[in-house]
Structure 1
């Protein structure tokens, strides 16, 4: 019988990641795990990664689709933390031997030019703090069996973070209509899905503003130079050995990953 605590939950999730062993939701064994406690678990998990030598490089948003939010019973995106341990170089294959059941989704990525601290952040204020916009792909990999979890479970698990890659083309946010920025998701050259930036909370800057305000409620902020993954534009696709998955954008260029 596990005696659950913030530290225990962080240890269990880190062990599942390291051993590539998925498990049932923690809430099935620890029903007292609520959303505030889940963010404390997430914070401890990241602290453990930093203690092991990783560096925090940014933030990611999850559940930025309004339809997904309604299904989970929330009205704003969740946030998670990015470290350099999640970074995948543009020419580096997705390391399937280090992951459990990875999926890939296309993202609009911000690099922050200025510190952004709530409360009271609007989309316009948020976008003004952005230095550049990039194409991106995120590889997610839940530590829960079949990606089945409650909202506190996925927050504790750092929103299924695994790897991400950012395209090399940097575009000024002032030159884009991000709500209309289109993306085509391909697997081995075949189109599997399409979307525009409007899929991300109506506009990626709206998601960024909500994230800044949510972080402020926990005494945190987005810092200059940090990377922000604004949320999946389409449903994520499973990654299989040999697959090449690409995201081709109207103005942001293209980014590809290959699974080894």
Structure 2
């Protein structure tokens, strides 16, 4: 029995010694190499790991410019074992202009998703609790194709804690032309009723309603403001917020083009990215 306990202790200490650190993950991220999962058990532990990981990325990718909200559908939340969205940090060098061409293997585990950004107008957004209130405190809606990187090796645990630790996969994203916000109930409702069209290589592959994100994409802002407040943080003017994925993700491949179009009320926009 004593030998078994000693053997178990040796294995436990070896596993602990091999635990990936935030600095280790930065190295994997830079090398676009699939990484072992961080040893985090809760979303709060994941946030602590994420903060150190993002700090390690800042000298390479630039300063924080906002946030991304992930897991914004109930089905996806259930898949990854949580009952709420998750948040990550967007850095300046992650953002590209529409029409950009990027490598198909832009990350260790690259995917491409239809998304949407908003820009914070003033600090009043931290008190907003409905889409109709949010719309009074944002000044732009921006078409956005997110290019996340799931980072982790095949077979590693993907759950709320580890997804949070890897910064919710934030890697790159392509921005379309900003749309000026009208601070009205009609504008907020139009976003819920929006139609999002996704095309791969000029072939329509998906049509998704705006309500796919928490009933209204602006509810992602409400959740984010509340979650930041719980951790002693707040949104500030100029922050941009990625609201979440419309529909399923796709795997990019060399030579392909991904286009997303948005139609809501009297407004609309688009974004496009090509892969080499």
Q: Same fold (TM over 0.5)?
A: yes
Structure 1 residue 248, shift from structure 2 partner: 1.1
Distance 1:5 1:227, change over 3 A: farther
- Comparing 101-110 with 43-52, greater Cα deviation is found at 43-52
> Which one is further off, 84-93 or 232-241?
84-93
State how many pairs are aligned.
255
Is 1:167 matched with 2:176? yes
Q: Is the 8 A contact 1:105 1:235 kept in 2?
A: yes
Question: Structure 1 residue 64: deviation in Å?
Answer: 0.5
Structure 1 residue 218 corresponds to structure 2 residue 231? yes
Distance 1:76 1:124, change over 3 A: farther
In 1: Cα distance, 2:61 partner to 2:81 partner: 36
Instruction: Report if aligned partners of 1:169, 1:252 keep a CA contact under 8 Å in 2.
Output: no
1:236 equivalent to 2:249? Answer yes
What are the ranges of 5 or more consecutive residues in structure 2 without an aligned counterpart?
A: 1-13
The structure whose Rg is larger is 2
Q: Does 1:151 align with 2:160?
A: yes
Supply the distance in 2 between the matched residues of 1:108 and 1:161 (Cα, whole angstroms).
14
- Of residues 217-226 and 166-175 in structure 1, the stretch that sits farther from structure 2 once superposed is 166-175
Q: Which of these residues, 123, 128, 132, is aligned with residue 140 of structure 2?
A: 132
Give the alignment's TM-score, normalised by structure 2: 0.84
Is the contact between residue 134 and residue 222 of structure 2 (CA under 8 Å) also seen in structure 1?
yes
For residue 13 of structure 1, what is the aligned residue in structure 2?
25
Tell me the secondary structure at the aligned position of residue 144 of structure 2.
strand
Counterpart position of 2:275: 259
Matched, 1:65 2:78: no
Give 2:208's match in structure 1, choosing from 185, 192, 195: 195
Higher mean C-alpha deviation, range 216-225 or range 173-182: 173-182
For residues 53 and 81 of structure 1, do their structure 2 counterparts lie closer, same or farther at Cα, with a shift above 3 Å needed?
closer
Distance change (3 Å), C-alpha of 1:98 and 1:186: closer
Q: Is the 8 A contact 1:182 1:194 kept in 2?
A: yes
Q: Answer with 171-180 or 154-163: which moved more.
A: 171-180
SS in 1 for 2:242: strand
Alignment RMSD, CA only? 2.3
Q: Distance in 1 between matches of 2:113 and 2:247?
A: 6
Q: Secondary structure at the match of 1:88?
A: strand
Using the TM superposition, give the Cα deviation of residue 75 of structure 1 relative to its aligned residue in structure 2, in angstroms: 2.7
2:53 counterpart SS class: helix
Whole-Å Cα distance in 2 between the matches of residues 187 and 237 of structure 1?
A: 9
Q: Does 1:178 align with 2:178?
A: no
Q: Deviations over 1:54-91 (max 9, x none)?
A: 11111110000121123333232111000012112223
Partners of 1:198 and 1:192 in 2: how far apart?
18
TM-score normalised over the length of structure 1: 0.89
1:36 alignment partner, one of 30, 44, 47: 44
Report whether the alignment pairs 1:111 with 2:119.
yes
